[in-house]
Amino acid sequence: MRAPAKRIRRDGKLYMFYAGGYNNEPQQVGVAVSNDGVTWTLAATEIGWNKNGPYLK
């Protein structure tokens, strides 16, 4: 299950951070990227982590 958490625009792209889990496993944070807001692609390589949580590279 995935639930949208936050969408932001940066450098002409939309980024959606979401939380999701499968089969009662702990939820994880993911990020997807889109040019049009309709078609989304997983973008794990475009985020980093610091003490405040995820951020866009």
Residue 17 three-state SS: strand
* pLDDT at site 2: 52
Dist. CA 7–CA 24, nearest whole Å: 25
* pLDDT at site 35: 93
Dist. CA 12–CA 40, nearest whole Å: 14
* pLDDT at site 36: 93
The whole-model pTM stands at 0.59
Q: Is 15 exposed, middle or buried (0-12, 13-18, 19+ CB in 10 A)?
A: buried
| Count of all residues that appear for the chain in the document | 57
pLDDT in tens, 5-56: 677 888 899 988 877 777 777 777 778 889 998 998 887 665 666 777 666 6
